[in-house]
């Protein structure tokens, strides 16, 4: 059949922080670039980031990238690749300064430099004491950043395709990526975007869990597309549960609250983090704090009528500091918890927040797969950056403020790598395979004609509840095993979803069904990878991994210091080693992780 | 022991129009049972959509920062995710319509082209031609504070589509959101294009169609004050003239 093909040098999918940063690189280099996004760029989920972006600017006290690197490796529980981590931490200052130059309204300290606050897991002098490393615009850093990046793209005339849903990756018989198939949501027209470079910046899939800080749009579209095109997904068992989601609502309360001096208390009013992390206390790494909170709740010291949350206490802070540095938190407390945090505690619970795993890439944002003996062979034409990618800088647990840094650094490096590749290779576009859009059309056709199928909403909720119960903060061998069977069952239901709305005009029922196709790939990858990893590391903690001298806190470096790769085809798993060798400094050696 | 949850049924009248099948728009009567976990209008709407998947609206962050779910709620523009269900009076249906003054694409989804066109017309980016320092430019905390109340705009369009001046002249009047953005750059000590920005607005329509009706201030879900920003721009134009 005939269909519209639009040709570009490069196509970026997603217009959050990573996509916009990559697009700047491409647009400024004069290449013909399309940015596809399912929401208007400033509605992307980067907008919801609150507390800051990490960079060792040292504006308020001594700091350097090597300390930042150490903290990131330790935070990752040594699963992060040390070459990529060194690269990210060394690029951080420039990445943040660039944003300031673009006009981002950072808060300032008295000497006019960017304001920095302490954040969980960020320490000075290789783990000694908390350091001010998080560069912030009040508690609206993501909003200020996303708008500044969008505005800069306006300045350089980036071409946006707003409210276009990407459907599938176009990959030819040689394995090269030649663009994406996408649908104009307003008209349902399906178009092939033919490009020499395709950059995925599609964000995370936090909506795979029932209780999530994430936006509705965080449905792992890039991961689903990559998986369907035969690209494995890396380290998908590692999900960050943010310690402070508003109990019930799930809305995020930034770690910056604790950076400004807020503390967690149990029902007895005790500052319990002193027992779990005597040094860093409330500013320990997120996985550690979330587990401590749930231990308090599980042991009966939770607050509220059902004893199922703990308190975040800011009442001892100067109200002026709260209103100046944490104004949105004050609003969120009132809006979503019904409390005035100047006077009352905020009820909080660990809530799914961030996906450490994703599409495997190197530090240039090139998507890499195993090819013969090469465990990291770039897929020609394919790049990924931000939460959808796994570089891997976060390993088994991400530090707060490193996500905004990740999307800046790898958004830029993927853009640079794409520009270089397009410039090196000036020949015409490689022809599209004859069946370029067939798979997408078949999926749409199946959805339009499904009879007696499963309900999208109910199936999604079933998936989310299964994930929540079987692959949560604490993981149990038996629950994981059952979880695999249950998720595979849900996947059968997803394969036969039915929608009532068949309209061609802005059909959000169809979009939600297509998003569920992507979410279920993430759910399968997570459950199967988690069931298989028989150790505790970072955010993945299971009941049958015991604390022994050889396996401190259940971490088994002898057998499990390796990245998981889940393949959609046959739900096959394989593994690749962690890159322990940094670029210029000595390896940060394995040790027991304490805060 | 859990206590039984208080359920409440909410009745809605919702503007529906699908150009693919409807000859003209109509108001749909539909209701949904909510539990105490459903705090916001958006929670109820998600339940409504589970009942009738053809009900179309935009939404994303559900916490008032992305600006997707602006709509006209009982006659007043607002965000569904920040509107408390408990505040709706019993016995009266909740009336939902698309934002006024913009073409309807479908149901509660409006075509925002004209809104963004006006935003883009004010050159919404920092202009500074100095050589860039290696580090950040310095800005005093006091100068930075001038941006408070300006940079937080989420571009939901509640204000602009509540403004009669925009209804009459959407192609000529920048509207409150665009003017707030213009002043955000004028007020930034790092920006060097103040004169060009003022030139761009010195026009009987672009700026001066604001008649301080203040609907914008009344509806802004972020508590911003576009009228005040517009006043400051007008003041600067007067100062510049003398």
**In this predicted structure, what is the pLDDT of residue B1?**
36
Interchain CB distance below 8 Å, A506 and B105? yes
The reply to whether B56 touches chain A by the CB within 8 Å rule is yes
- Which residues, numbered 194 to 233 in chain B, qualify as contacts with chain A under a Cβ-Cβ cut-off of 8 Å? none
Closest alpha carbon within chain B to A508: B56
Those residues whose C-beta lies under 8 Å from the C-beta of residue A446, and which sit 6 or more positions away, are: none
The pLDDT of A318-329, averaged and rounded, is 96
* pTM for this model (two decimals): 0.97
Of A90, A286, A533, A568, which residue is the catalytic one? Answer: A286
Residue A361 per-residue DSSP state: B
Interchain CB distance below 8 Å, B66 and A147? no
List chain A residues with CB under 8 Å of B185.
Answer: 103
The pLDDT of A92-107, averaged and rounded, is 98
Give the pLDDT band of residue A427 (cuts 50, 70, 90). Answer: confident
B122 within 8 A of B93, measured Cβ to Cβ = no
**In this predicted structure, what is the pLDDT of residue A425?**
83
A11 φ/ψ angles, rounded to the nearest 5 degrees: -125, 130
pLDDT tens digits for range A539-559: 999 999 999 999 999 999 999
Q: Which helix (H) or strand (E) holds A85?
A: helix A82-102
- Distance, CA of A258 to CA of A293 (rounded, Å): 14
Out of A107, A249, A457, closest to residue B144 by CB: A107
Estimate to the nearest angstrom the gap between the alpha carbon of A327 and the chain centroid.
25
**In this predicted structure, what is the pLDDT of residue A2?**
75
List chain A residues with CB under 8 Å of B182.
Answer: none
Those residues whose C-beta lies under 8 Å from the C-beta of residue A112, and which sit 6 or more positions away, are: B138, B139, B140, B141
Interchain CB distance below 8 Å, A154 and B82? no
Interchain CB distance below 8 Å, A48 and B109? no
Q: For residue A392, is the peptide bond before it cis, meaning its omega torsion is within 30 degrees of 0? A: yes
Closest alpha carbon within chain B to A153: B125
- Which residues, numbered 87 to 126 in chain B, qualify as contacts with chain A under a Cβ-Cβ cut-off of 8 Å? 105-106, 109, 112, 116, 120, 124-126
pLDDT tens digits for range A556-589: 999 999 999 999 999 999 999 999 999 999 999 9
Tell whether the torsion through CA atoms of A404, A408, A410 and A411 is positive or negative.
Answer: positive
CB pairs under 8 A between A and B: 153
Out of B19, B67, B125, closest to residue A103 by CB: B125
**In this predicted structure, what is the pLDDT of residue B242?**
83
Which pair of tokens denotes residue A102?
């673009």
List chain A residues with CB under 8 Å of B152.
Answer: 140, 143
A207 part of the active site: no
Closest alpha carbon within chain A to B50: A457
Angle ∠(A472,A475,A476) on CA atoms, nearest 5: 135
The reply to whether A584 touches chain B by the CB within 8 Å rule is no
**In this predicted structure, what is the pLDDT of residue A1?**
62
Best B47, B59, B65, B141 member to test A by mutation, with max A CBs in 10 Å, is B65
pLDDT tens digits for range A25-75: 999 999 999 999 999 999 999 999 999 999 999 999 999 999 999 999 999
Interchain CB distance below 8 Å, B105 and A186? yes
- Distance, CA of B175 to CA of B161 (rounded, Å): 8
Best A93, A95, A111, A112 member to test B by mutation, with max B CBs in 10 Å, is A112
Which pair of tokens denotes residue A368?
């890499």
A114 within 8 A of A120, measured Cβ to Cβ = no
Q: What is the mean pLDDT of chain A?
A: 97
**In this predicted structure, what is the pLDDT of residue B167?**
97
pLDDT tens digits for range A466-478: 999 999 999 999 9
- Distance, CA of A407 to CA of A53 (rounded, Å): 10
Closest alpha carbon within chain B to A458: B50
List chain B residues with CB under 8 Å of A111.
Answer: 138
- How many residues make up chain B in this entry? 242
**In this predicted structure, what is the pLDDT of residue A285?**
94
Q: Give the 3-state secondary structure of residue A454.
A: strand
Q: Residue A512's closest CA among A575, A456, A441, A584?
A: A456
- Which residues, numbered 162 to 181 in chain A, qualify as contacts with chain B under a Cβ-Cβ cut-off of 8 Å? none
Out of B63, B124, B138, closest to residue A332 by CB: B63
Q: Cβ–Cβ contacts within 10 Å for residue B163, how many? A: 29
Interchain CB distance below 8 Å, B106 and A505? yes
Q: Give the 3-state secondary structure of residue A431.
A: coil
Distance from CA of B242 to the nearest CA of A (A): 31
pLDDT tens digits for range A124-165: 999 999 999 999 999 999 999 999 999 999 999 999 999 999
Residues A236/A240/A246/A247 CA torsion (nearest 10 deg): 70
* ipTM given for this complex: 0.97
**In this predicted structure, what is the pLDDT of residue B3?**
41
Best A99, A101, A307 member to test B by mutation, with max B CBs in 10 Å, is A101
The reply to whether A96 touches chain B by the CB within 8 Å rule is yes
Distance from CA of A508 to the nearest CA of B (A): 6
Out of B37, B39, B109, closest to residue A506 by CB: B109
Interchain CB distance below 8 Å, A215 and B61? yes
Closest alpha carbon within chain A to B69: A43
Reading chain B (242 residues) residue by residue, the pLDDT tens digits are 344 457 999 999 999 999 999 999 999 999 999 998 899 999 999 999 999 999 999 999 999 999 999 999 999 999 999 999 999 999 899 999 999 999 999 999 999 999 999 999 999 999 999 999 999 999 999 999 999 999 999 999 999 999 999 999 999 999 999 999 999 999 999 999 999 999 999 999 999 999 999 999 999 999 999 999 999 999 999 999 88
């Amino acid at each position: 059949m005939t269909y519209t093909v639009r040709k570009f040098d490069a196509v970026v999918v997603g217009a959050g922080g990573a996509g916009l940063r990559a697009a700047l690189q491409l647009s400024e280099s004069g290449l013909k670039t399309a940015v596809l996004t399912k929401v208007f760029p400033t509605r992307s989920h980067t907008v919801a980031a609150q507390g800051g972006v990490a960079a060792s600017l040292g504006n308020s006290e001594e700091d350097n990238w090597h300390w930042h690197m150490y903290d990131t490796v330790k935070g990752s529980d040594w699963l992060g690749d040390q070459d990529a981590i060194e690269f990210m931490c060394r690029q951080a200052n420039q990445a943040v300064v660039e944003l300031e130059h673009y006009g981002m309204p950072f808060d300032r300290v008295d000497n006019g430099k960017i304001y920095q606050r302490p954040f969980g897991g960020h320490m000075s002098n290789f783990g000694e004491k908390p350091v001010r490393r998080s560069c912030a615009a009040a508690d609206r850093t993501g909003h200020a950043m996303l708008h500044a990046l969008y505005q800069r793209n306006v300045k350089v005339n980036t071409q946006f395709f707003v409210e276009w849903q990407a459907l599938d990756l176009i990959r030819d018989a040689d394995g090269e990526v030649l663009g994406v198939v996408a649908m104009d949501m307003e008209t349902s027209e399906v178009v092939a975007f033919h490009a020499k470079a395709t950059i995925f910046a599609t964000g995370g899939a936090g909506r795979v869990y029932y209780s999530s800080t994430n936006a509705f749009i965080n449905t792992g579209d890039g991961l689903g597309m990559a998986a369907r095109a035969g690209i494995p997904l890396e380290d998908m068992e590692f999900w960050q549960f943010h310690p402070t989601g508003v109990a019930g609502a799930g809305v995020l309360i930034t770690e910056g609250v604790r950076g400004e001096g807020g503390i967690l208390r149990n029902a007895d009013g005790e500052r319990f983090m002193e027992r779990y992390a005597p040094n860093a206390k409330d500013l320990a790494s997120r996985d550690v704090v979330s587990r401590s909170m749930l231990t308090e709740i599980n042991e009966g010291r939770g607050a509220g009528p059902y004893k199922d949350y703990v308190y975040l206490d800011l009442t001892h802070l100067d109200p002026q500091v709260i209103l100046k540095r944490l104004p949105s938190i004050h609003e969120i407390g009132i809006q979503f918890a019904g409390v005035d945090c100047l006077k009352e505690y905020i009820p909080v619970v660990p809530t799914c927040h961030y996906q450490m795993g994703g599409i495997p890439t190197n530090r240039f944002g090139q998507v890499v797969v195993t090819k013969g003996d090469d465990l990291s062979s770039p897929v020609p034409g394919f790049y990924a950056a931000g939460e959808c990618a796994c570089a891997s800088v976060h390993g088994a647990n991400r530090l707060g403020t490193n996500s905004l840094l990740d999307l800046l650094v790898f958004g830029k490096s993927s853009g640079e790598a794409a520009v270089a590749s397009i410039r090196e290779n000036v020949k015409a576009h490689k022809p599209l395979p004859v069946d370029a859009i067939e798979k997408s059309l078949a999926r749409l056709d199946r959805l339009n004609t499904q009879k007696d199928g499963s309900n999208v909403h109910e199936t999604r909720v079933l998936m989310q509840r299964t994930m929540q119960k079987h692959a949560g903060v604490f993981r149990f061998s038996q629950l994981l095993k059952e979880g695999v069977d249950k998720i595979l069952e849900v996947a059968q239901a997803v394969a036969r979803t039915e929608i009532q709305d068949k309209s061609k005009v802005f059909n959000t029922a169809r979009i939600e069904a297509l998003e569920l196709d992507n979410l279920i790939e993430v759910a399968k990858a997570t459950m199967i990878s988690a069931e298989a990893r028989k150790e505790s590391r970072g955010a993945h903690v299971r009941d049958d991994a015991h604390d022994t001298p050889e396996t401190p806190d259940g971490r088994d470096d002898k057998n499990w210091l390796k990245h998981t790769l889940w393949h959609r085809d046959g739900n096959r798993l394989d593994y690749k080693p962690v890159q322990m060798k940094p670029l210029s400094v000595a390896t940060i050696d394995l040790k027991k992780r304490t805060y | 022991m859990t206590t039984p949850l208080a359920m409440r049924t909410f009745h809605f009248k919702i503007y529906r129009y699908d150009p693919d099948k409807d000859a003209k728009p109509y108001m749909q009567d539909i209701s949904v049972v909510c539990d105490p976990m459903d705090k916001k209008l958006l929670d109820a709407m998600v339940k409504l959509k589970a009942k009738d998947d053809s009900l179309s609206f935009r939404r994303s962050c559900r916490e008032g920062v992305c600006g997707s779910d602006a709509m006209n709620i009982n006659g007043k523009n607002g965000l569904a995710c920040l509107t408390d269900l408990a505040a709706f009076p019993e016995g009266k249906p909740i009336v939902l319509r698309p934002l006024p003054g913009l073409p309807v694409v479908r149901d509660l989804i409006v075509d925002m082209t004209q809104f963004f066109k006006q935003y883009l017309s004010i050159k919404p980016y920092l202009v500074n031609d100095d050589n860039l320092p290696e580090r950040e430019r310095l800005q005093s905390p006091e100068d930075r504070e001038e941006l408070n109340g300006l940079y937080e705009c989420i571009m939901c369009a509640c204000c602009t589509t509540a403004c009669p001046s925009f209804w009459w002249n959407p192609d000529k009047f920048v509207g409150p959101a665009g003017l707030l953005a213009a002043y955000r750059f004028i007020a930034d000590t790092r920006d060097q294009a103040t004169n060009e920005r003022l030139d761009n607005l010195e026009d009987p329509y672009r700026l001066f169609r604001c008649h301080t009706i203040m609907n914008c201030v009344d509806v802004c879900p972020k508590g911003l004050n576009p009228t005040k920003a517009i006043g400051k721009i007008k003041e600067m134009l007067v100062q510049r003239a003398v």
